[in-house]
Amino acid sequence: MNKALRQRAILEALKQGPVANQEDLQRALRKRGFKVGQATLSRDIHDLSLSKTATGYVMPQNEGVAGLALPPVQRLVREFVLEVRQAQNLLVVKTVIGSAQPVAAALDEQEWEGMVGTIGGDDTILIVCPDKDAARKVAVRIEEMQG
């Protein structure tokens, strides 16, 4: 898995609140499809400038995370999306295991007209659209990016 995607997953885990220790952080990453060793996790903690407090690891307060931008959505879709299926106003997007959340996040960042939002699991993304026509248009955009 990509370092930027893994580090973004760490930040997503921390947005839910402090993580007590490295073992808990490893568990949170495993739930997001990332299996990392202690050395890799320590490097990520250092790279992200995370602080260890009495309640656990927290994000830096005044630093941006611009360096952790996702790769371009076209690249993520091309590399990780396997299938797009429409069900009325919904799209079910199947991905490689462990990559649905970063792909969903990248799609959300596009703020496409006709896409209300996404829910990313482990290998499946649910995209909600206002109607069938909008869902069809979003599906075509994603399929075009697959190459």
pTM score of the predicted model: 0.57
Is the pLDDT at 13 greater than 70? The verdict is: yes
**What does the mean pLDDT of the chain come to?**
87
User: Over the stretch 100-131, which tens digit does the pLDDT of each residue have?
Assistant: 988 998 898 888 999 999 999 989 999 999 99
Is the pLDDT at 137 greater than 90? The verdict is: yes
Instruction: Show the tokens assigned to 93.
Output: 């997007």
Number of residues that make up the chain: 147
Domains parsed from the chain with CATH numbers: 3-68 (1.10.10.10), 73-145 (3.30.1360.40)
Distance in angstroms (rounded) separating the CA atoms of residues 24 and 64? 24
Is the pLDDT at 49 greater than 90? The verdict is: no
> Is the pLDDT higher at 53 or at 134?
134
Evaluate whether 41 touches 26 at the Cβ level (below 8 Å): yes
